[in-house]
Structure 1
């Protein structure tokens, strides 16, 4: 399959928001393109994340979203691979791997020490994909969340 990976900009907001909505639905969230679009617009306008799109036949069919973090032992910038999604009609063509590879290249371009990610234990595809792409499972740390009420 012929594809290209490009860095998204505000000009790509509509296409990115449609994919982002499908991604959220995959994680059992209700469809809300309007709020998702506003969320992404803020990320673009405030330079708070970097998004790369997989383009096939001129259409965005997948994306990865990266957020900047800082690693306390490496004393360097690190990227959180927060969101990775490929439209179901385009899965199985290597687009997820291509988006991950572009994220690794972004680490080189931005002098970051690497990528980290988390995924649900039930995400069988992701839990097989990430080790194949060179990610190592971190069994040493527990991840906790606190949500304000």
Structure 2
């Protein structure tokens, strides 16, 4: 059962809370008003693609991707910059569903792949990404998923 969809402006109150939790995870100060403004700009300016997961009207997680380009391949790539699921909702498959949304975006935009990086100490991510078809790219845990 699909519990993911593209984020819309009316998601901003809940999405900003999730984004704030994500930033706190990466040792940043809480700042929900700035998170709200940042995400609002991304959505309104179409600078990124944001997908959310939800359960009974409650947003449980999100993924945010930015467009980049490969000069050597002369095609678009997507940078999977942010992936987060609220700790109360982990272990339910939301991360994998959000990654599937990212892959579908890659296919539908005729991009050559998705790039991401994660810390060596991110044990969950370093198990999740290979399980979703990403390959370890080099010694900095840089993963790539390419669609055929």
Same structural fold, with TM-score higher than 0.5 when normalized by the shorter chain? yes
Q: Does 1:98 align with 2:103?
A: no
Task: State the 1:47 CA deviation.
Answer: 0.8
Task: State the 1:4 CA deviation.
Answer: 1.3
Q: Does 1:79 align with 2:78?
A: yes
Q: Deviations over 1:5-27 (max 9, x none)?
A: 11002221111111000000111
Q: Does 1:68 align with 2:67?
A: yes
Q: Does 1:137 align with 2:129?
A: no
- Return the TM-score normalized by structure 1: 0.89
Aligned equivalents of 1:89, 1:141: Cα separation in 2: 29
Retained in 2: the 8 A contact 1:3–1:57? Answer: no
Where does residue 108 of structure 1 map in the other structure?
Answer: 107
Aligned equivalents of 2:16, 2:84: Cα separation in 1: 12
Aligned equivalents of 1:98, 1:123: Cα separation in 2: 19
Point out 4+ residue stretches in structure 1 off by more than 3 angstroms. Answer: 140-143
Q: How many residues align?
A: 142
Question: What SS does the corresponding residue of 1:28 show, helix, strand or coil?
Answer: coil
Give the gaps of 5 or more residues in structure 2. 143-148
- Return the TM-score normalized by structure 2: 0.90
Aligned equivalents of 2:7, 2:117: Cα separation in 1: 23
- With over 3 angstroms needed to count, the CA separation of the structure-2 counterparts of 1:57 and 1:112, relative to structure 1, is same
User: For the aligned residues, what is the CA RMSD?
Assistant: 1.7
Aligned equivalents of 1:73, 1:104: Cα separation in 2: 21
Aligned equivalents of 2:73, 2:31: Cα separation in 1: 38
